[in-house]
Amino acid sequence: MTQSPEIDLFSSAAKANPYPSYTLVRSSDPVYPLNMEDGHTSWLITRYEDALAILKDQRFIKDFRRLLTPEQREKIREDAYSALSAHMLSADPPDHTRLRALVNISFTPRLVEQWRERIQVLANELIDAIERQEDREFDLIDAFAFPLPIVVITEMLGVPTEDRARFREWSNALLDATGKPEAILGTREKIIAFTMYLRHLIETKRQQLGDDLIGRLLVAEANGDTLNETELISMIFLLLIAGHETTVNLIGNGMLALLQYPEQKQLLQENPLLIKNAIEEFLRFHSPVAISTRRWVGEDLEFGGKQMRRGDPVLVSLAAANHDPEAFAQPDELDITRQENRHLAFGMGIHYCLGAPLARLEGQIAIRTLLQRLPNMRLAVPAEELVWRPSMLLLGVSKLPVAF
């Protein structure tokens, strides 16, 4: 099976507007054999109903080790990367159920709401700093979209303030290399550094438990169970990465969409109560996670007219599903008044994003405050000059130069 040469999903140019390629695939071959850089072929899912079905179907598994024989499992070399991948996003029941139960209580809408005032203070402080600059141009990612969620999640976890910059370097390197074998090899030193840092942080926390998320994880019990050290390291890694990366893209992509659709920007400024609805549309329009983390076919089965074999990798494109005309009227248009917006930006099923309430709250406060405080913001460069991150999973710009 060969990949059609006109289909390009992962270059920066394609990231800027992947939807024509998704439309082509969806109309011609919605369960598409996509050739990957590692030489393997993955089933790419682009229709909304197909994506929804797979996200909820536990025949499509997240833990590839279930495909191995006991002998093959024994031969798997434990390395630094494996210590970062033993989290609930890579697990199936019953492990997933146990792991999620240990952290679920910290991300309920009620508990997340308690962070509203702190998030608002941070948003205002960041804009205060921007306004103090002599230059009327700034990078919205560096100056606002990145620091806001990273401060929130590190404060929730209890991570020292001075270490936040390193998290960005580590997480960018790991996520941008996902799905690219050569790039993954180049991240080995950063993976080891990240793992060593987390081990040291956990040991420090053990000595003096605090009322933060890491402290609670250290003493948490759910159904008489606790996290082992590898699971704890991996869980903190997941919460750090997922807790800020997707929100960076939500804020950046949402503001970019408004700057490209000035009538929608004006509508939101005149009707600030539309902010919740607008956030859902930003999540759909430029989904922060373009492709869900990899699944594998757990047993031979037929899906979408294709015969899938046990062990086949499957990639569910959330971005493609969220632009499916069968699910959304005029999907390529930004409409912050859109109703019945059943987007899949946070996934679905048992792996539905744990941090969705936090991301929504941060997005609402961030974008509403930017529009209030910097109402005349505009792009400082032509949109076609923006560089999009090379990550297979994420959809977002590396920098967003704006002027006010």
Domains of the chain from N-terminus onward: 12-403 (1.10.630.10)
- Are 388 and 256 in contact by the 8 Å Cβ rule? The answer is no
Tokens of 377: 């913001």
Strands 313-316 and 41-45, sheet pairing: parallel
Note the pLDDT of residue 6.
54
Could you give the CA distance from residue 246 to residue 242 in angstroms, rounded to a whole number? 6
What's the distance, Cα to Cα, between the start and end of the chain in Å? 50
Could you give the CA distance from residue 343 to residue 280 in angstroms, rounded to a whole number? 8
Taking the mean position of all CA atoms in its chain, how far away is CA 33? Answer: 24
Digit-by-digit pLDDT tens for the chain (404 residues) are 444 445 777 777 888 899 999 999 999 999 999 988 777 889 999 999 999 999 999 999 999 888 988 877 776 655 555 666 767 888 899 889 888 888 887 788 888 999 999 999 999 999 999 999 999 999 999 999 999 999 999 999 898 878 877 877 787 777 666 655 555 666 778 888 888 888 888 898 888 888 888 888 888 755 566 778 888 888 888 888 887 889 999 999 999 999 999 999 999 999 999 999 999 999 999 999 999 999 999 999 999 999 999 999 999 999 999 999 999 999 999 999 999 899 999 999 999 999 999 999 999 999 999 999 999 999 999 999 999 988 888 999 999 999 99
Note the pLDDT of residue 112.
92
- pTM metric for this prediction: 0.91
- Are 140 and 254 in contact by the 8 Å Cβ rule? The answer is no
Strands 306-308 and 313-316, sheet pairing: unpaired
- Are 396 and 388 in contact by the 8 Å Cβ rule? The answer is yes
Residues 6+ apart with CB under 8 A from 271: none
Note the pLDDT of residue 2.
44
Strands 137-139 and 401-403, sheet pairing: antiparallel
- Are 389 and 365 in contact by the 8 Å Cβ rule? The answer is no
- Are 331 and 323 in contact by the 8 Å Cβ rule? The answer is yes
